[in-house]
């Protein structure tokens, strides 16, 4: 800390620092160290500037004396602490400091404010005397009392004050006059009224009064003796000491009752002190409990405040979420009371799509799991679920009635079915066009609830099954009636001798052509119808386009387009695929059940008309059997399997009957030539009937059976 060259310069600098509101009486450099109420030992000292300042009040004209402690350099001082001198109760000298420059200022402070006294050490003893003398005088004049001096030689300070009276407060009156414009005004402090001028006129007043000084001089004068009167002085002093001792004994005896009373009072006080200590300890325990309770209450308040803030944010977020899922008025009207006309389909689809998206967003992971269990979210979900049930019920009822009426109108149209002399293949263009109108709405209905399409699927299956069965039946009946075939009851070997067979030993069977036409017309149609049904009713399975033999491209029925929903999706998991496949098979059974009887009737009719036509019929069936194995063609594949089994049974029956005829011929007619001719014509007929390569094994087995019966070994 940079030092100033003179005290006036330091005082002037401090005065400029605090401003003109206070007058700095003096300013000194000191060393400050901490002490614990007078205990021995000092901490490391710190350099400080201590200043005594007087501040008058402009309203009450009272004067306030303060002790200012500054820290820092001369260029950047700042006030570290301020002490009110009206609270100064005692000034103690530190006995450990032999120089006498160290002292402690004890202030009366409230008990609830911790206080630790500081030790102050001036640079010189003269600075200490000047500071303490000024503090004592100011306290006495301004506050009506002076602090007690303990451990400080008062006589020495008095002698110093008397000797240095001229420089004790040098320059103070002039500064005070400049600062406060003293014109014989009276400034009153806490201890009473006193003139400012009086304070500085008494700056030269001794610490001991005049009367006390005269008594001391008289007392000392009594003991002024000559040098040769030492024995007399000793005798006189001995007598006075004995007199003083006697006086002290009498004083003690006289004061014994008072001492006893004081002792008794002290004992009572000690008891009260013990009670007081016990009471204080109890109070301390209660205070500790109170502090713990206060801490718990503060912690609970903090938690409550945090909860209030969180609840406010949560309510704000819930309002945002609620606004997000609030049903728009136009959608609410459409879902509750809207019509399902073709012109309103787009509006219904948009409303259904919004409802599906809202219900999805109310479920994790689209919604925070912590929100899912909240009452507001549950109420909103219940509201949307109720709206969904109302819409699905209305939409399902309408679609069931609509599809039933469309199919009934198709059935009532005479041009739909085959008539006498005209075979008509099934045409679905108009029906599927009307179905496509509601395809997107059905898809979004399934997105709302996967089980919501079950009633619609069942109703659509039953209505469409009636149409398909009638189409197949009418076509099969007209096909049989329009096919010209000469039925004969003669044995099969004899028929090989007929003129017709002779002229055309390899002639084609008209009944097998009729059967092939039946397959060409209805197998692709049934596969396409199954695929359309699976796609239209939103079955999530893999759909395959029907595959046909290139030889059958000429048939227009094979080029009929299949309706596929562009939004079809296939479930990812195998369990979902298996469940959807099972449901689809049950629906296809309801859709196509009954048409197999018409196919069985055609096979029975063909076998009755031409037994050997089963060979070409079996080959025609094999062409379609290997190409329809998808889920949507499951029923068609099963139908072809049944047809193949029935045709194979008919073929085995023909082979067995032919074997019996060869045996009868061998018994009734002689000669090998007859059997050779018959067998050669039979093999020619059989080879011509073969269609494809898959029936080769069955034909070879039939040859082996016939070869065993003929009377000679003949290899075809």
Cβ contact 621:644 at 8 Å? yes
| Predicted pLDDT of residue 223 | 56
For residues 473, 474, 476, 477, the Cα torsion angle rounded to the nearest 10 degrees is: 110
| Predicted pLDDT of residue 413 | 85
Q: What pLDDT digit, counting tens, does each position of 655-712 carry?
A: 777 777 766 666 555 455 565 666 666 666 666 566 655 456 556 666 666 665 555 4
Rg, C-alpha atoms of the chain: 65
Binning the chain into helix, strand and coil, the percentages to the nearest 5 are 65, 10, 25
| Predicted pLDDT of residue 193 | 41
Task: Find where tokens 């001229």 sit.
Answer: 166
For residues 235, 239, 241, 242, the Cα torsion angle rounded to the nearest 10 degrees is: 140
| Predicted pLDDT of residue 416 | 81
Quick one: DSSP state of residue 374? Answer: S
Give the Å distances, CA to CA, from 626 to 641, 693, 696: 10, 13, 16
174-181: average pLDDT: 39
Predicted confidence (pLDDT) at residue 399 exceeds the cutoff of 50: yes
Q: Which of 179-183, 429-433, 521-525 has the lowest mean pLDDT?
A: 179-183
Q: Which residue has the higher pLDDT, 287 or 186?
A: 287
pLDDT bucket at 303, cuts 50 / 70 / 90: very high
Q: What pLDDT digit, counting tens, does each position of 336-346 carry?
A: 988 898 889 89
Pairing of strands 148-150, 88-93: parallel
Cβ contact 146:140 at 8 Å? yes
Task: Find where tokens 């387009």 sit.
Answer: 561
Predicted confidence (pLDDT) at residue 603 exceeds the cutoff of 80: yes
Paired strand residues for 283: none
Tokens of 708: 């065993």
Predicted confidence (pLDDT) at residue 212 exceeds the cutoff of 80: no
| Predicted pLDDT of residue 44 | 66
The gap from C-alpha 597 to its chain's centroid, in whole angstroms, comes to: 62
Quick one: DSSP state of residue 669? Answer: S
CA atoms within 13 A on the CB side of 249: 5
Q: Which of 341-355, 411-425, 578-592 has the lowest mean pLDDT?
A: 411-425
pLDDT bucket at 469, cuts 50 / 70 / 90: very high
Neighbours of 338 (CB within 10 A): 18
pLDDT bucket at 59, cuts 50 / 70 / 90: low
> Across all residues in the chain, what is the average pLDDT?
76
Predicted confidence (pLDDT) at residue 166 exceeds the cutoff of 80: no
Q: Which of 11-20, 27-36, 131-140, 602-611 has the lowest mean pLDDT?
A: 27-36
The CA distance from 557 to 307, in Å, is: 73
Tokens of 651: 């073929």
For residue 365, whether the previous peptide bond is cis, meaning omega lies within 30 degrees of 0, is: yes
Q: What pLDDT digit, counting tens, does each position of 5-16 carry?
A: 457 888 888 888
Paired strand residues for 48: 30
CA atoms within 13 A on the CB side of 307: 6
Name the nearest CA neighbour of 638 among 651, 629, 647. 629
User: Angle, nearest 10°, between helix axes 672-689 and 696-709?
Assistant: 170
Give the Å distances, CA to CA, from 409 to 2, 38, 573: 116, 119, 41
Neighbours of 162 (CB within 10 A): 14
Predicted confidence (pLDDT) at residue 570 exceeds the cutoff of 70: no
Q: Which residue has the higher pLDDT, 52 or 557?
A: 52
Give the Å distances, CA to CA, from 146 to 163, 194, 462: 21, 15, 119
Name the nearest CA neighbour of 38 among 112, 97, 149, 117. 117
Cβ contact 355:383 at 8 Å? no
The CA distance from 194 to 235, in Å, is: 52
| Predicted pLDDT of residue 680 | 65
Predicted confidence (pLDDT) at residue 386 exceeds the cutoff of 80: yes
State what percent of residues in the chain have pLDDT above 90: 17
Tokens of 589: 């059974």
Which residues 6+ apart lie within 8 Å of 459 measured at CB?
Answer: 400, 403, 404
Which residues 6+ apart lie within 8 Å of 695 measured at CB?
Answer: 615, 618, 619, 622
| Predicted pLDDT of residue 12 | 87
The CA distance from 267 to 104, in Å, is: 33
Handedness of CA 361, 365, 368, 370 (dihedral sign): positive
For the chain, give every domain's residue range: 7-176, 232-313, 327-449
SS3 at position 120: strand
The CA distance from 716 to 707, in Å, is: 9
Quick one: DSSP state of residue 60? Answer: T
Give the Å distances, CA to CA, from 18 to 9, 32, 68, 319, 326: 15, 21, 10, 59, 68
Predicted confidence (pLDDT) at residue 147 exceeds the cutoff of 70: yes
Predicted confidence (pLDDT) at residue 607 exceeds the cutoff of 70: yes
| Predicted pLDDT of residue 704 | 63
- Which helix (H) or strand (E) is 701 found in, with range? helix 696-709
Give the Å distances, CA to CA, from 237 to 217, 219, 249, 678: 18, 14, 18, 187
| Predicted pLDDT of residue 232 | 75
Q: What pLDDT digit, counting tens, does each position of 79-90 carry?
A: 888 888 888 888
Predicted confidence (pLDDT) at residue 194 exceeds the cutoff of 60: no
238-262: average pLDDT: 80
| Predicted pLDDT of residue 369 | 81
One-character DSSP codes across 124-155: SHHHHHHHHHHHHHHHHHHHS---EEESS-HH
Q: Rounded to 5 degrees, what angle do the CA atoms 326, 328, 329 make?
A: 125
CATH 2.40.50.140 assigned to domain 7-176? The reply is no
pLDDT bucket at 174, cuts 50 / 70 / 90: very low
């Amino acid at each position: 800390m940079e030092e100033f060259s003179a005290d006036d310069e330091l005082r002037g600098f401090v005065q400029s620092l605090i401003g003109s509101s206070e007058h700095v009486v003096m300013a000194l450099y000191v060393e400050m160290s901490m002490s614990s109420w007078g205990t021995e030992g000092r901490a490391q000292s710190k350099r400080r500037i201590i200043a005594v300042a007087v501040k008058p009040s402009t309203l009450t004209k009272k004067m306030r004396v303060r002790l200012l402690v500054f820290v820092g350099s001369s260029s950047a001082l700042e006030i570290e602490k301020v002490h009110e001198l009206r609270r100064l109760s005692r000034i103690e000298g530190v006995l450990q400091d032999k120089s006498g420059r160290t002292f402690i200022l004890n202030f009366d402070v409230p008990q609830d404010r911790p206080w630790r006294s500081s030790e102050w050490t001036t640079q010189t003893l003269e600075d200490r005397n000047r500071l303490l003398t000024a503090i004592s005088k100011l306290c006495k004049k301004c506050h009506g009392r002076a602090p007690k001096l303990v451990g400080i030689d008062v006589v020495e300070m008095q002698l110093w004050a008397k000797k240095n009276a001229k420089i004790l407060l040098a320059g103070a009156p002039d500064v005070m006059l400049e600062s406060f414009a003293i014109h014989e005004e009276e400034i009153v402090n806490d201890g009473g009224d006193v003139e400012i001028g009086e304070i500085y006129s008494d700056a030269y007043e001794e610490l001991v009064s005049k009367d006390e000084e005269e008594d001391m001089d008289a007392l000392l004068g009594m003991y002024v003796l000559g040098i040769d009167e030492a024995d007399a002085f000793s005798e006189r002093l001995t007598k006075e000491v004995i007199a003083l001792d006697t006086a002290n004994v009498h004083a003690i005896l006289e004061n014994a009752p008072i001492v006893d009373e004081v002792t008794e009072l002290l004992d009572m006080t000690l008891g009260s002190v013990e009670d007081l200590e016990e009471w204080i300890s109890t109070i301390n325990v209660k205070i500790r409990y109170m502090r713990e309770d206060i801490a718990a209450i503060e912690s609970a308040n903090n938690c409550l405040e945090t909860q209030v803030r969180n609840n406010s944010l949560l309510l704000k977020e819930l309002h945002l979420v609620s606004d997000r899922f609030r049903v728009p008025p136009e959608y609410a009207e459409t879902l509750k009371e809207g019509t399902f006309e073709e012109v309103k389909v787009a509006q219904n689809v948009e409303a259904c799509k919004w409802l599906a998206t809202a219900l999805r967003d109310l479920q994790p992971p689209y919604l925070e799991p912590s929100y899912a269990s909240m009452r507001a979210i549950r109420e909103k979900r219940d509201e949307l679920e109720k709206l969904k049930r109302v819409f699905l019920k209305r939409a399902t009822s309408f679609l069931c009635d609509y599809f039933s009426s469309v199919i009934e109108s198709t059935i009532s149209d005479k041009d739909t079915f085959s008539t006498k002399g005209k075979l008509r293949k099934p045409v679905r263009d108009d029906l599927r066009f009307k179905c496509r109108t509601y395809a997107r709405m059905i898809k979004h209905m399934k997105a709302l609830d996967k089980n919501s399409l079950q009633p619609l699927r069942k109703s659509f299956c039953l209505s469409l099954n009636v149409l398909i069965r009638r189409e197949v039946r009418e076509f099969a009946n007209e096909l049989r009636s329009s096919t010209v075939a000469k039925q004969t009851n003669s044995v099969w070997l004899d028929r090989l001798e007929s003129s017709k067979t002779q002229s055309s030993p390899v002639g084609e069977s008209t009944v097998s052509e009729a059967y092939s036409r039946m397959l060409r017309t209805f197998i692709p149609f049934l596969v396409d119808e199954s695929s359309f049904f699976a796609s239209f009713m939103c079955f999530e399975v893999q759909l395959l386009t029907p595959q046909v033999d290139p030889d059958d491209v000429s048939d227009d029925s094979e080029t009929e387009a299949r309706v596929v929903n562009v939004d079809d999706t296939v479930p990812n998991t195998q369990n979902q695929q298996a469940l959807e496949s099972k449901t689809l098979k049950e629906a296809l059974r309801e859709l196509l059940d009954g048409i197999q009887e018409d196919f069985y009737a055609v096979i029975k009719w063909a076998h009755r008309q031409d037994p050997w036509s089963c060979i070409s019929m079996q080959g025609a069936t094999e062409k379609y059997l290997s190409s329809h194995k998808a889920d949507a063609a499951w029923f068609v594949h099963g139908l072809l399997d049944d047809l193949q089994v029935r045709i194979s049974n008919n073929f085995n029956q023909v082979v067995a009957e032919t074997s019996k005829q060869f045996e009868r011929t061998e018994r009734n007619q002689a000669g090998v030539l007859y059997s050779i001719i018959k067998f050669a014509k039979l093999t020619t007929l059989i080879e011509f009937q073969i269609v494809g390569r898959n029936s080769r094994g069955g034909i070879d087995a039939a040859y082996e059976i016939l070869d065993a019966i003929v009377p000679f070994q003949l290899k075809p």
